[in-house]
Amino acid sequence: MKKSVLVILTFLLTFFAGISKVSGQQYKLIQQEKIAFFTKRLGLSTEEAKLFWPLYDEYQTEKDKVLSERKVTENYYITNVESLSSTELEAITDRYVEFHKKETELLEHYTNEFKKILPIEKVLKIYVTEIEFRRHLIQMVRDNKVGQGLRENR
C-alpha cells in the first residue's frame, strides 16, 4: 500500500510541477482558455459571468492554498518515507485527512454561494467542467499546443 500511495503522489507532484513550469504568457493564455471553456460549457450569460468569475476565482484561490499545503506535506512524505517513525506517519496521515476535510468545507461553502447566483443545473456543471477542462488541458500539453493557438483546440 505504501508503494501505491508513493506512486500516486509522485505522479501528482510531477504533473503539478510540469504545470508550474508554464511561462507567464502561457499561464495567461491558459486562463483565457479556461474562461472561454467554462463560459461556453456552463452557458453563462453576461450577467451570470459577471457574478460567477469573481466568486470562482476566490474559490480557486482558497482551494489552491489547501492544495499547496497538501503538496508540501506530500513532498515531505516522499522525501522522507524510508525514515519516518510510526508517530510521524500517523501525523502525516492525519494532516492528509485534514486537507481533504478543508477541501470538502470549501466545496460546501462555495457550492452554496454558487447556488445563490446560478441556476442549480449550472452549479453541478461547474465541477464537471473542471474535470473536462483538466482533460482538455492535459490533451493540449500532450499535443504540445499550450501557448500555440489554444482557442482553435476547443
Q: What is the pLDDT of residues 98-151, one digit of tens each?
A: 999 999 999 999 999 999 999 999 999 999 999 999 999 888 888 876 555 554
**pLDDT tens across 59-93, in order?**
999 999 999 999 999 999 999 999 999 999 999 99
Residue 26: per-residue pLDDT: 82
Read off the C-alpha cell for 59. 474559490
Give the span between the Cα atoms of 103 and 107, in whole angstroms: 6
Give the span between the Cα atoms of 38 and 40, in whole angstroms: 5
Residue 147: per-residue pLDDT: 53
pTM (predicted TM-score): 0.73
